[in-house]
Amino acid sequence: MIKNNLTSIFIIALSLGLSFTSCSDDDGNNNNGNDNEVTLYASNNSNGNITVYDFEESQTAQTRSLITISTAADGVYYDSSSESVFQASRSGNNLEGFVDIDDLETGSLLDVSFESMSDMDSPREVAVNGDLFVVADNADVDGNDMTPDGRFFVYSFSGGNFTLRNVITVNFAVWGITFNGDDLYAVVDKTNELALFTNFLSNTTDATISASKRIAIEGIVRTHGLTYDTASDTMIMTDIGDAGNAQDDGGFHIIEGFTSKFNAVTDGGTMAVAGNQVRVSGAATLLGNPVDVAYDSENEVVYIAEAGNGGGRILGFSNFDLSAGGNISPTFNSTLASASSVYLDK
């Protein structure tokens, strides 16, 4: 998932011989001065390994699979300054991190460099702001399906260690999350809604809080993934459609000029499709259960973690019309069983 305005500052114990410095998605070390070169990191719920796609001039990629101790994983994040990748392990219910991964060959076994305690029940997406990692946990908090709820686990990362800072409970099921500065956007799982928490990280103790604002996104049946690109002020949200159909009823919505459009909708209101959004969907897209999304705004490429169609895929769309959308074929299509999350480094 893209988090373009974020930096990740890590201070690593001297005994590890490592140090993390500030970075953003636009400052990766993989592009060698070529704006068309990006690297995409993907996690999955089939074997828990991390797949790395190194894209060059066109929608072709060199692909590497790095072996982890997890058997299922979700949210993934990469720090270019330390060549470290992190993911939320669904088999271990924790965060795990691995250093010096850039030059590893496919099939390499990753040793865990950093890991949190197994605090969570059902970790999904990860969003990073400075030295704080936020993980959306999709488990039912009170055990009552009739009362929607979810939790955000906030971890601080310092000296090579994860420490659980606090747990924030909300009154809806959670999944995808992304930061814009200190504000957190979160999908309202099982609905077509988007929630905003202003100054989210100012909540420093265990607490139950309400979203600052919630709106519905017309045209979406059930949203899962989202990403916000600061440079282009673009929000992209995925729609998995009917959860029982994992093959051909999914899509994604592109909202350019997002900030003003979001602000124009009152709390509890609906953002109309007409004049505000572009939808990409249809049989040609191969979208059935798109659970996460990343956006390369410079090259105008949308990357999707598709969990259902054909058993799972990583899809890229570089041929969409920002004024029309529609039923378009992906320009990149790589099989990845039970794909669950993507993160773009450029």
Domains of the chain: 14-345 (2.120.10.30)
**pLDDT level of residue 324 (50, 70, 90 thresholds):** confident
**pLDDT level of residue 26 (50, 70, 90 thresholds):** very low
**pLDDT level of residue 36 (50, 70, 90 thresholds):** low
pLDDT in tens, 218-271: 999 999 999 999 999 999 999 999 989 999 999 999 999 999 999 999 999 999
Phi/psi class of residue 307: alpha, beta or left (left: φ > 0; alpha: ψ in -120 to 50)?
alpha
Q: What is the DSSP string of 49-79?
A: -EEEEEE-SSS-EEEEEEB-S-SSEEEEEEE
pLDDT average, residue stretch 149-168: 97
Q: Residue 143: CB partners within 8 Å, gap ≥ 6?
A: none
pLDDT in tens, 264-274: 999 999 999 99
What is the pLDDT at residue 59?
84
DSSP state of 8: -
State the pTM of this model: 0.90
The two structure tokens encoding residue 120: 């969570």
Task: Name which residue leads in pLDDT, 15 or 214.
Answer: 214
- For residues 232 and 243, the answer to whether their CB atoms sit within 8 Å is no
What is the pLDDT at residue 128?
98
What is the pLDDT at residue 6?
35
Phi/psi class of residue 325: alpha, beta or left (left: φ > 0; alpha: ψ in -120 to 50)?
left
pLDDT average, residue stretch 22-47: 63
pLDDT average, residue stretch 210-217: 98
